[in-house]
Amino acid sequence: MSFAGRYELQSRENFEAFMKVIGVSDDVVEKAKQLKTVTEIQQDGNHFVTIITTGSHVNRNEFTIGEETELQTPTGGKARGTVNLEDGKLVSTVAGMTTVTEVSGDTLIAVATLKDVVYKTISKKIS
């Protein structure tokens, strides 16, 4: 399955609760809600580069399925983790946060879970 493409955020669920649980201040959360988020995924077989841009903040990760690597967390920190491919979905657990990402047609769906808070984003392919 190909994940490659550029996707623009269309909707999100539990954004504020998730940002609080990862330690983002209220003023930063309010600003982030107003910014456009674009996710770019580059894929070459089992090797991926993901670039999530929200305003001027860029979160870039590079990984190969099944190999442990250092990944950037949503707050900009670094943690070691492994991304696996399970039932056509990218699944990782890094720093206590589990993330499941899948593509359905032209839609990218990502669900992150940390401390019983579930954060879901839905993005549409733009290129």
Instruction: Please write the tens of the pLDDT for every residue from 96-120.
Output: 999 999 999 999 999 999 999 999 9
At residue 34, the pLDDT reads 87
At residue 115, the pLDDT reads 92
Structure tokens at 109: 């769906």
Angle at 29 between CA 27 and CA 32, to 5 degrees: 110
Structure tokens at 60: 């870039």
Does this model's pTM top 0.75? My answer is yes
Q: Is 47 in contact with 19 (CB distance < 8 Å)?
A: no
At residue 16, the pLDDT reads 93
At residue 49, the pLDDT reads 98
Residue 94 burial (CB < 10 Å; 0-12/13-18/19+)? buried
* SS3 label, residue 57: strand
* SS3 label, residue 55: coil
Rg of the chain (C-alpha set): 14
Element (H, E) at 118: strand 117-125
The whole-angstrom separation of Cα 62 and Cα 69 is: 8
At residue 95, the pLDDT reads 87
At residue 20, the pLDDT reads 92
At residue 57, the pLDDT reads 87
At residue 86, the pLDDT reads 97
Which residues of the chain register pLDDT less than 70? none
